[in-house]
Structure 1
Amino acid sequence: MSGGQGGDAGIRIEQVVPGSKAVDRFIALPYRLHEGDPNWVPPLYMERQETLSPKLNPYFQHADVMFFLALRGEKVVGRISAQIDRAGLEIRQDATGHFGLLAAEDDQAVVDALFAAAADWLRARGMVHMVGPFNLSINEETGLLVDGWDTPPMLLMGHDRAYLGPRIEGAGLTKAKDIYAYLYDIQHDLPKPVRRLIDRPLPANIRLRMLDMKRYDQDLENITSIFNNAWAGNWGFVPLSEAETKQMAKSLKLLINPKLAWIVEVDDTPAAFGVCLPNLNEAIADLGGKLLPFGLIKLLWRLKVKGVKTARVPLMGVRRDVGGWLQAILPFLIIDAMRREAKQLGYKQIELSWILEDNLPMRRIIEAVATSRYKTYRLYGKPL
């Protein structure tokens, strides 16, 4: 830990350099703040260490990052990250920096001090606007939960204390964008109009297939290529790098079931995909963030033997150069394939997330399959 800054009400801000031993104190704070919250799922401590490690998370290869702790005396009462994603700036050149990993006691002075430190750090590096939270990338956890605290979060989705939104606004930030999570009860078939649409025979040049584990790495590269093409131009988009694709392939291999990952080929070229993952949070909810001494055994048994009942679709897309009616029908084909296989595997509900509030084409597709919007996450911004 290095570098102290003064603050109001006896609050001291200290920088925590990524990769330093002090990161453990940074990681630990939410475990205390969420005590008594029945819907918070303690993340695996080992996973948090990996995500925040410059050596293990390829995000750090294209981003500058600093962590900050707020202390009152020697007690940690808040934390925040500030980051500059150079890959995003190459696309937009808008001098926008990010904040993330926000956690704090219900104290406006603490939140004010944290945002002041993050803003100062970003401003000193030429940023003129700040937006977040991104934990750490828009391709990892995004947004602050502002509606839907009555249910636990799914895999790779956040869960925040209800007071944080008003505290962020009290620090001078305003809404930049909302993103939605939808919950789909897969016991129900698709609506009849959708069913009629997708039950028609497909043209001979269109093939819907499962992920091929024998060529897993190639299929993950195909998925990344489609994702980067499909999402290009979306608000805040940053393409997945080759290193991030390899990291994703490695981290998902234990979780992924080829029956829940589908690719559509048009003229033998991958054109659309959807990936549904078992909800890891359901399996780790009572482990307290620890895999040792018995947590790993419990986790593997719950995932591989007992099975979980919920899942999430974090990745889905159709290439932009796929034209006409295919743009409309391919997502339904993929959703139906995932729904059918997930139901046979014993799943009950699937979350489709996250969806930008103004991404009306995707919202129409998801809302057409009779899903309910049950969580809202918010991005906040502020001029520097």
Structure 2
Amino acid sequence: MRVRPLRTPEDAAACIEFWHEVYRDLPCWVPLDRHHYEDMLSGRSPAAANAQVQTFLADDGHRILASVTAVREEAYVQHRNEQTGHLLFFEALDGQGDAVDQLLDTACGWLESRGCDAARLSLLPGWQLPPTIDAYDVVPTLFHTYNPAYYHAYIKNARFRTEHGCVEYRVIFTPELSNRYREMVKRASDAGVRLRTWDLDHLEDENVLFTTLFNETFRSHWGFMPLSSAVMSELTVGFRDVLVRDFLIFAEVDGRPVGFVYSVPDLNQAFHRMGEKPVDENVAEFQRYVGEIDHGVLLIIGVDQGYRGRGINLGMAARSYLAMVERGYRSASYTVVMDDNWPSRRTAEKLGARVTRNFNIYRRELK
């Protein structure tokens, strides 16, 4: 068994194929966009503009057994003033504990050699959301990963500890909740808050505003780092064909933008039904599945610190959820929420949502 660095496009393609091998028989897995992840693994994506990136593969000379990508992200280091590196896209076959130990030791050594004194596994804004620790029998919602249950023992055996938890909420829409949402929207309006939908005809400009508000409102959020417009555009311009105008909300007070909601259809419902068929070769089928989506994902909500406590968050989320109801959606997620982010958790509860999935973020000290 050996651990080797990923060097070539062929290595990246082989790594993606290995991921498919890990998951192919797991019915709730959603196949990945191969080209997107090949760029991520190789450090060619917009997210890697200020990062040192190295993917490592553990193999036995015949096949890949495990993989992980080590990232030293300078934007994170500078913003947080901490020498934390990140380990992302960890995947492994079952029964390969020794290979995983060597793989993660090698990746941690790479981070330490670049000045990192700790490694965080599984979460980095713009890169990856953390692994699930439950709900293995449910297809994950958009942007979330899926993973085998045995990963957590692998990670703990490699001397990582649980650093933080986070949750995903889910709400089942009812007429009573719709009435509650209308009241939330009215209260925000009566308080002088203008809720407007995004202008999809000028999406590049809206993306700049989205990026600015995101970076301002999440400045002190745990695990946060500023993201560039190029990275955020993957959520906006990159999703232009599937965005729903009325799901996307900006809040303004006296003409000043003070908050936003980024919500989208749960495209994983469509991707899961596609299986491993390429979307670009089966566009009509994919569009049909998109038209049958009945679940929305409220991924990000933010309010400028000076305007919190005025119900702006509830007004924006309620406006977005009402648009989903009007579109015939049956339910929606409210995600990702850190365990100790009680303002956001209370918002989810007031919207009628309940926790349905949990995730863990791991840490290993290097010095």
For normalisation by structure 1, the TM-score amounts to: 0.89
Residue pair 2:70, 2:110 contacting (<8 A) in 1 also: yes
Map of 1:357-368 to 2, 5 A cutoff?
A: 357-368=339-350
CA, structure 1 residues 255+47, in 2 after alignment: closer, same or farther (shift >3 Å)? farther
Residue pair 2:204, 2:237 contacting (<8 A) in 1 also: no
The reply on whether 1:16 has 2:6 as its aligned counterpart is yes
CA, structure 1 residues 367+297, in 2 after alignment: closer, same or farther (shift >3 Å)? same
Higher helix proportion, which one? 2
CA, structure 1 residues 197+334, in 2 after alignment: closer, same or farther (shift >3 Å)? closer
Aligned partner of 2:247: which letter? L
CA, structure 1 residues 383+349, in 2 after alignment: closer, same or farther (shift >3 Å)? same
Q: What is residue 190 of structure 1 aligned with on the other side?
A: 177
Of 240, 258, 268, the match for 2:255: 268
Residue pair 2:259, 2:312 contacting (<8 A) in 1 also: yes
Give the whole-Å Cα distance in 1 for the aligned partners of 2:173 and 2:181: 15
Residue pair 2:66, 2:103 contacting (<8 A) in 1 also: yes
Per-residue deviation at 1:243?
Answer: 2.4
Of 240, 243, 262, the match for 1:256: 243
Residue pair 2:298, 2:332 contacting (<8 A) in 1 also: yes
Residue pair 1:44, 1:289 contacting (<8 A) in 2 also: no
Give the whole-Å Cα distance in 1 for the aligned partners of 2:155 and 2:179: 44
Give the whole-Å Cα distance in 1 for the aligned partners of 2:230 and 2:128: 18
Of 74, 83, 89, the match for 1:86: 74
Q: What is residue 101 of structure 2 aligned with on the other side?
A: 112
**Count of residue correspondences:** 365
Give the whole-Å Cα distance in 1 for the aligned partners of 2:331 and 2:127: 22
Q: What is residue 156 of structure 2 aligned with on the other side?
A: 169
Give the whole-Å Cα distance in 2 for the aligned partners of 1:200 and 1:123: 52
CA, structure 1 residues 348+116, in 2 after alignment: closer, same or farther (shift >3 Å)? same
Aligned partner of 2:121: which letter? G
Residue pair 2:121, 2:363 contacting (<8 A) in 1 also: yes
Find runs of 4+ consecutive structure 1 residues off by over 4 angstroms.
191-198
Map of 1:158-307 to 2, 5 A cutoff?
A: 158-190=145-177, 196=183, 198-200=185-187, 202-203=189-190, 205-291=192-278, 294-303=281-290, 306-307=291-292
Q: What is residue 30 of structure 2 aligned with on the other side?
A: 41
1:87-117: CA deviation from partner (whole Å, max 9, x where unpaired): 0111122111000101101222122111111
Give the whole-Å Cα distance in 1 for the aligned partners of 2:331 and 2:25: 26
Aligned partner of 1:286: which letter? R
Residue pair 2:170, 2:356 contacting (<8 A) in 1 also: yes
Give the whole-Å Cα distance in 1 for the aligned partners of 2:211 and 2:71: 23
Of 80, 99, 113, the match for 2:87: 99
1:108-142: CA deviation from partner (whole Å, max 9, x where unpaired): 212211111111111111111101213xx323422
Aligned partner of 1:372: which letter? R
Q: What is residue 128 of structure 1 aligned with on the other side?
A: 117
Aligned partner of 1:363: which letter? R
Aligned partner of 2:79: which letter? I
Q: What is residue 8 of structure 1 aligned with on the other side?
A: none
Give the whole-Å Cα distance in 2 for the aligned partners of 1:201 and 1:233: 25
CA, structure 1 residues 49+290, in 2 after alignment: closer, same or farther (shift >3 Å)? farther
CA RMSD of aligned residues (A): 2.0
CA, structure 1 residues 193+377, in 2 after alignment: closer, same or farther (shift >3 Å)? same
Q: What is residue 309 of structure 1 aligned with on the other side?
A: 294
Deviates more, 1:246-255 or 1:94-103: 246-255
CA, structure 1 residues 60+131, in 2 after alignment: closer, same or farther (shift >3 Å)? same
Give the unaligned 5+ runs of structure 2: none
Aligned partner of 1:356: which letter? M
CA, structure 1 residues 200+35, in 2 after alignment: closer, same or farther (shift >3 Å)? closer
Q: What is residue 335 of structure 2 aligned with on the other side?
A: 353
CA, structure 1 residues 262+335, in 2 after alignment: closer, same or farther (shift >3 Å)? same
